[in-house]
């Protein structure tokens, strides 16, 4: 696991994002997800205890709260490696929901056999699978169930993550658009006085930098025209223009945007690396069978696109 993972996700959840594909979907990932979790929630016994692994900003506890409104019907604990914002900032000020920041799935701080249901949505696959699974089974009651939604290696989110990751790599490359924009920001500061402008006009290095920046911008335009997911390129262009309009504060904005891209790069590359293929899912199922559980797998599609595996074990 990358040592930066907890900080990167902490910064992401601090933005107020409601789930990890913020920007592509609204409150939840989509109808197929809500329907899968709806069936899982409907089978919960009254007063059930639920544990959400890798809860992030609590997308699943929030969904369960909307599906099972009755007080006392259930209680949900959510754990995550990241530092999570306070519940009221996440719209989770609900006495039935308890989020645990800075908590690793591989070492759960709960007694054995205390949960009726352990769930995870795009989470468990990021962990050490053998450890995470044995911890999940330890805290599950004997007749408890495990319900997982896992990244599928050939799904839309994985394909988008690959494409966006490659755009970000180009933007952050040495002498890429971000480096050139930082250089241009320095030139813009020098151009704030008549004397500065005169000097710039006679500075061949400044002229060369302007030409390289313009060429990089044109390259981005071409990529935007041909890419099937140009969002990050549009966003980069806007962030740079905004920084240029902010005067001296523009350098800090560019620096903050660079950090944002570096964080996104780590999240996207981890998403691709940890996505589950047929062989990995079979391994997971074998581990569950070895512990005496039956499993049931399915594919989740949204608007005709493959989105994830679902796996039920009981
Ligand atoms: C893709 S997000 C999913 C969040 C949420 N389940 C959702 O559906 O929006 C993955 C989350 O897993 C957390 N995570 C990764 N490895 C972890 C670990 N070993 N223990 C606990 N949380 C972990 C990250 O901090 C991140 O918040």
What CA dihedral angle connects 177, 179, 184 and 186, to 10 degrees? Answer: 160
Residue 17 CB: number of other CB atoms within 10 A?
A: 15
Name the packing angle between helices 129-139 and 278-290 (round to 10°): 40
Please choose, from the candidates 153, 107, 112, 152, the residue with its C-alpha nearest in 3D space to the C-alpha of residue 128.
Answer: 107
240 with 177: CB under 8 angstroms?
yes
Nearest CA to ligand 1 atom 15: 126
Per-residue model confidence as pLDDT tens digits over 267-297: 999 999 999 999 999 999 999 999 999 999 9
The secondary element (H helix, E strand) that includes residue 113 is none
What is the set of domains in the chain, with CATH numbers? Answer: 5-155+275-313 (3.40.50.150), 157-271 (no CATH)
Lowest mean pLDDT among 48-57, 68-77, 219-228, 249-258: 68-77
Q: Quick one: pLDDT band at residue 22, thresholds 50, 70, 90? A: low
Q: Ligand 1 in contact with 126 (CB < 6 A)?
A: yes
Alpha carbon of 159 to ligand 1 centroid (Å): 19
Round the average pLDDT of the chain to a whole number and report it.
93
Per-residue model confidence as pLDDT tens digits over 93-150: 888 999 999 999 999 999 999 999 999 999 999 999 999 999 999 999 999 999 999 9
Residue 74: the pLDDT is 86
Please choose, from the candidates 306, 296, 300, 294, the residue with its C-alpha nearest in 3D space to the C-alpha of residue 36.
Answer: 300
Q: Ligand 1 in contact with 105 (CB < 6 A)?
A: yes
**Alpha carbons 57 and 277: distance in angstroms, whole number:** 26
Residue 39: the pLDDT is 94
The answer to whether residue 23 scores a pLDDT higher than 60 is: no
Nearest CA to ligand 1 atom 9: 19
Residue 252: the pLDDT is 96
Question: Which alpha helices (H) appear in 123-247, and where do they start and end?
Answer: 129-139, 156-172, 177-190, 194-201, 204-226, 231-245
Pocket test for ligand 1, best of 126, 134, 263 (most atoms within 8 A of CB): 126
Per-residue model confidence as pLDDT tens digits over 165-221: 999 999 999 999 999 999 999 999 999 999 999 999 999 999 999 999 999 999 999
- For residue 148, give Cα distances in angstroms to 34, 202, 229, 269, 310: 13, 63, 28, 21, 6
Q: Which atom of ligand 1 is nearest to the CA of 128?
A: 19
Q: Ligand 1 in contact with 37 (CB < 6 A)?
A: no
12 with 265: CB under 8 angstroms?
no
Beta-strand relationship, 115-121 and 74-79: unpaired
Q: Ligand 1 in contact with 55 (CB < 6 A)?
A: yes
Q: Ligand 1 in contact with 80 (CB < 6 A)?
A: yes
Nearest CA to ligand 1 atom 14: 54
Q: Provide the β-strand partners of residue 144.
A: none
**Alpha carbons 184 and 37: distance in angstroms, whole number:** 50
Q: What is the average per-residue pLDDT within 255-270?
A: 96
Which has the higher per-residue pLDDT, 112 or 91?
112
278 with 154: CB under 8 angstroms?
no
Nearest CA to ligand 1 atom 8: 121
Residue 1: the pLDDT is 67
- For residue 251, give Cα distances in angstroms to 176, 188, 225: 16, 11, 28
The answer to whether residue 21 scores a pLDDT higher than 70 is: no
What percent of the chain lies above the pLDDT cut of 90? 85
């Amino acid at each position: 696991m990358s040592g930066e993972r907890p900080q990167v996700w902490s910064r992401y959840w601090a933005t107020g994002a409601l789930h990890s594909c913020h920007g592509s979907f609204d409150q939840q990932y989509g109808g197929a997800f809500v329907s899968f979790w709806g069936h899982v929630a409907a089978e919960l016994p009254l007063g059930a205890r639920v544990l959400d692994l890798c809860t992030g900003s609590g997308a699943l506890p929030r969904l369960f709260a909307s599906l099972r409104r009755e007080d006392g019907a259930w209680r949900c604990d959510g754990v995550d490696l990241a530092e999570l914002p306070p519940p009221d900032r996440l719209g989770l000020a609900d006495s039935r929901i308890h989020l645990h920041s800075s908590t690793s799935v591989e070492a759960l701080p709960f007694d054995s056999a205390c949960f009726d249901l352990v769930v995870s949505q795009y989470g468990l696959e990021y962990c050490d699978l053998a450890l995470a699974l044995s911890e999940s089974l330890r805290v599950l009651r004997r007749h408890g169930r495990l319900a997982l939604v896992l990244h599928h290696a050939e799904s839309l989110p994985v394909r988008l993550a690959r494409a966006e990751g490659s755009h970000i790599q180009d933007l952050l490359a040495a002498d890429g658009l971000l480096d050139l924009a930082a250089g241009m920001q320095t030139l813009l500061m020098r151009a704030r006085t008549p004397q500065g402008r005169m000097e710039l006009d006679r500075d061949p290095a400044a002229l060369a930098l302007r030409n390289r920046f313009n060429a990089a911008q044109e390259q981005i335009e071409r990529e935007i025209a041909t890419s099937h997911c140009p969002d990050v390129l549009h966003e980069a262009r806007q962030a740079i223009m905004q920084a240029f309009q902010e005067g001296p504060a523009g350098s800090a904005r560019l620096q903050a945007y660079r950090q944002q891209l570096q964080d996104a790069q780590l999240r996207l590359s981890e998403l691709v690396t940890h996505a589950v293929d047929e062989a990995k899912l079979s391994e997971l199922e074998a581990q569950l069978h070895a512990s005496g559980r039956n499993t049931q797998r399915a594919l989740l599609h949204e608007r005709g696109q493959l989105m994830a595996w679902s796996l039920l074990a009981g």
